[in-house]
Amino acid sequence: MMKSTREAFGETLLELGKENDKIIGLSADLQDSTKAIYFQKEFPDRFFNVGISEQDLIGISAGISSEGFIPFASSFAAFIATRPYDQIRMLLCYNKLNVKLVATHSGLTVGEDGGSAQCLEDIALMRVLPNMKVFQPCDANETKALLRTITKDIGPCYIRLSRADYPIIFDENKVFTIGQGDILSEGNDVSIIATGFMVSKALEVKDTLEKEGFSIRVVNMSSIKPIDKNLIFDCSKKTKGIITIEEHQSFGGLGAAVLEVLSLNPVPVKVIGVNDAFGQSGKAEELLSHYGLDTSSLTYAIRKFINKVKYGSEG
């Protein structure tokens, strides 16, 4: 079964709105695409479309939050993470306001919208801000669990979602805990730590390499900030190396966060992401292949890394 995380957001925001009248929806004229439109149709008096004005989106959300409400502000990642950055920094993070930023259409899988709309820098931008939490769920069911958890948490957070459909990994009973990763498979050769769509790719790579006799641990790291330091240390102790995979620049994202944790406990680490480049227009799977994030390319790179850390050879 396949389902986009933006669809799960729309469905869950509507459910949460029925349960809690303090929840307010906002959009910068993209509620149809982000699926916040489900909430808008049910609760028109609790929804604000501010137009194509992301700075106003954050400023209005900040004011609503200061009155005790829980605003969910949604837009494309390329817009909500970059255009109102000063407002996010000074209004939300500096004042620790309880605003939930929901960024859909992140990464390369936006596809034909092209490089200007494929945000590959947002994890780095959000992760560096004091008081900001950063999350990227791996499927629709985890998205629902995440949204329920952060509704009860106080403070600003950034939730990175997709346009593309993701394979379902967790069942509907999934519980999300802030700052905690999930071990999806055990192994002792290497650990693959992935986030978002790349978690399903990591599982595909694992299945291929296990047939070749390799033993792969796969970790879903949907809580990027705060990150699960204990689990990362555990991976460094129980496997011979760590690979991180993300649909994001290889600088400043999940890989950088893992390396920061391991700075005092170094092990071989390979960071796989987009290598200092913008995206471009194309079908999602074509783009993943072009940037080395498709299953075949990942399998090749990870096999090579395992052979190097296990046998001292890249053959």
Across 218-224, average pLDDT:
98
| pLDDT tens figures, 294-307 | 999 999 999 999 99
Task: Point out the residues that are catalytic.
Answer: 54
pLDDT given at position 176: 98
Q: Give the count of beta carbons closer than 10 Å to the beta carbon of residue 152.
A: 9
pLDDT at 287: 95
One of 3.30.70.270, 1.10.357.10, 3.40.50.920, 3.90.950.20 is the CATH number of 182-311, namely 3.40.50.920
Q: Whole-model pTM?
A: 0.96
CA distances from 53 to 30, 58, 83, 133, 168 (A): 11, 9, 9, 23, 34
**What is residue 93's predicted lDDT score, i.e. its pLDDT?**
98
pLDDT in tens, 94-141: 999 999 999 999 999 998 888 899 999 999 999 999 999 999 999 999
pLDDT of residue 264: 80
The pLDDT-based confidence of 255 (bands split at 50, 70, 90) is very high
Residue 315 pLDDT:
60
- Judge whether residue 14 has pLDDT over 70: yes
Q: Which two tokens stand for residue 125?
A: 């931008």
Q: Find tokens 């170094």 and name the residue.
A: 266
Arithmetic mean of pLDDT, 35-40 = 98
Measured CA distances, 212 to 106, 280, 303, 304 (Å)? 33, 34, 10, 13
Q: What CATH code is assigned to 2-167?
A: 3.40.50.970
> Does residue 154 surpass a pLDDT of 80?
yes
Q: What digits encode the pLDDT tens for the residues 50-67?
A: 999 999 999 999 999 999
pLDDT in tens, 70-100: 999 999 999 999 999 999 999 999 999 999 9
On the question of a common fold for 2-167 and 182-311, the answer reads yes
Would you list the domain boundaries of the chain? 2-167, 182-311
- Across 249-270, average pLDDT: 94
